[in-house]
Structure 1
């Protein structure tokens, strides 16, 4: 039981309440002719009464300091709620991926909108191999396609391609403003920007609904310049398309650190795809370095099937 000053005050208070109850008990049980000071003291200080006083005092205090041992025992035996995990591929799915990964093949595997993946690209999904633009762009097309077919069950989103951020940074807004001439980005919940910075993939996100710009980096780097670039882009895009100013003064800039980290120098692309896939469903990051081989094979299967 805690022994701080607040606890002592509570005990003293309960002790006074007990003494009051004891006095009432004395009044009821001691004959009026015997109720003098000596008789009362004799009653109060009898050993068995003192023990009784301690027992009752514990009962009075107990609700304030609940014994949690039962709760702890319950937690030990409680059946945990199911958590989402990275599901393994079935035997049939693994057989398809094995065929895709067979060396020496040539030609196109899959195309969706303007994205195309060939056998030379799919080999980039081998373990510990850097992903290229074709794989990343195709996967983000799949994420966008799934959201558009979800009947509003998933957040609405728009995915830029892997050349957007570098073009915006190096050549300015004028060079990219026509890239969204057929889409109102401000009607979307989320905008995804896959970014390759010095051979390292990260995920940029502009969350229109929650007024947040963020960069998810599996190496834990800081990206203040990119976050400022996103806010500037949104302001210029709104002014260009809506002809009114766009206030970003209350937007948050985030580079989350409590996210899965890569354990090598080659899986950044797979992490970037996995970040986007979970965020596109508003789901937690349920993966880590140990899941990268499975995630890579799943991406290959998704590309082959043109669906996530």
Structure 2
């Protein structure tokens, strides 16, 4: 085929219609498209290597490639292949074969660009979703907040051995250095530590709005009631209306094991919280009996206990040794006094013990 024949038979839409139109609109006399119809003769006369170089130059135009539709390119190729299949082999023009190869190569490039765009978009979307999720998530605050460096220094001074004297006093409760040493890890708490801490709980309740009104009996209340009867403890509440409270706390030492007794006056429930999971029906019966006698003595009427329930919760934190029962008892009461969940465990006991020591020294729970 002559060069003139090649030029005369080269269609003006050598590329896809969309692509050809874009090239016509953006090219000018000073910078013609490498495949513009008017210059096809020049490219037909070029050596194969020169034509390939021009193709490589054209493929580097990413803006044009990205603007093309993959569907349009494939449609052009299918149309070309359909026309070629109708013609006899000897009648298939060189320019059609050249265009077919060119379109196949363009389709490969378009697919590659689509893959890159999809991958980058997906990666960006996933990264954005992860960042958004982190922003929306509430920061996790430790259930048992660690002491600050300053607070730890105070506790370290309290725990320093060889000291004597009174550390703090509140009403009838008093804690000395001898007592504070009971807050060392894996050491049994004594009555003085328990009683002082429950005084702090009652003091906070009286000064804080929107938390239950509580009354705390001392560690001798239950044993006195159990062994000597109601008359021995009748005057213990002469200045307190227990029926006007929300919660009554009773720390109990039973066979060298601390547990927490609770009388919930609003829910009409008596319960025992035991970090070793024991059974305490007798204690619950004693509580109900006490409330009946207290009501007769202070209100001059009988208390109907038919609606009252007895509970011994088992789905509560359990101690992992034989010495942290006192710390568990204090923490049960502290959480209940604020209507907060039992979000602590055995692993928190060292921090909790140090926090109790700090509370005693500061005479406040914060």
**CA distance in 1 between partners of 2:142 and 2:236 (Å):** 36
CA separation of 1:235 and 1:107: change in aligned 2, threshold 3 A: same
What's the CA shift string for 1:93-121, capped at 9, x where partnerless? 00000000000000000001110000000
Match of 1:256, SS state, is coil
Match of 2:104 in 1: none
For the Cα contact (< 8 Å) 1:84–1:286, is it kept in 2? no
State whether structure 2 residue 157 is matched by structure 1 residue 99.
yes
Structure 1 position 154, deviation (Å): 1.1
**CA distance in 2 between partners of 1:225 and 1:192 (Å):** 17
**CA distance in 1 between partners of 2:338 and 2:305 (Å):** 25
TM-score, L = length of structure 1: 0.74
Match of 1:234, SS state, is helix
For the Cα contact (< 8 Å) 1:147–1:155, is it kept in 2? yes
Structure 1 position 294, deviation (Å): 0.1
Instruction: Answer with 247-256 or 136-145: which moved more.
Output: 247-256
What's the CA shift string for 1:206-259, capped at 9, x where partnerless? 000111100000000111000010000000000011100001111110100000
Match of 2:150, SS state, is helix
Pick from 146, 149, 167: which aligns with 2:224? 167
**CA distance in 1 between partners of 2:329 and 2:251 (Å):** 7
Structure 1 position 153, deviation (Å): 1.7
Aligned length: 233
Match of 1:146 in 2: 204
Instruction: Answer with 81-90 or 125-134: which moved more.
Output: 81-90
RMSD: 1.4
State whether structure 2 residue 252 is matched by structure 1 residue 195.
yes
Match of 1:266, SS state, is coil
Match of 1:40 in 2: none
Structure 1 position 83, deviation (Å): 5.6
Q: Give every structure 1 segment of 4 or more consecutive aligned residues whose post-TM-superposition deviation is greater than 6 Å.
A: none
- Greater RCO (CA < 8 Å, at least 6 residues apart): 1
Match of 1:114 in 2: 172
Alignment of 1:214-293 (within 5 A): 214-293=271-350
Structure 1 position 80, deviation (Å): 4.8
TM-score, L = length of structure 2: 0.62
**CA distance in 2 between partners of 1:296 and 1:90 (Å):** 14
Gaps of 5+ in 1: 1-72
Pick from 152, 158, 182: which aligns with 1:124? 182
Gaps of 5+ in 2: 1-128
Largest Rg, 1 or 2: 2
Match of 1:263, SS state, is coil
Structure 1 position 279, deviation (Å): 0.1
Match of 1:253, SS state, is strand
Match of 1:210 in 2: 267
Match of 1:205, SS state, is strand
CA separation of 1:80 and 1:262: change in aligned 2, threshold 3 A: farther
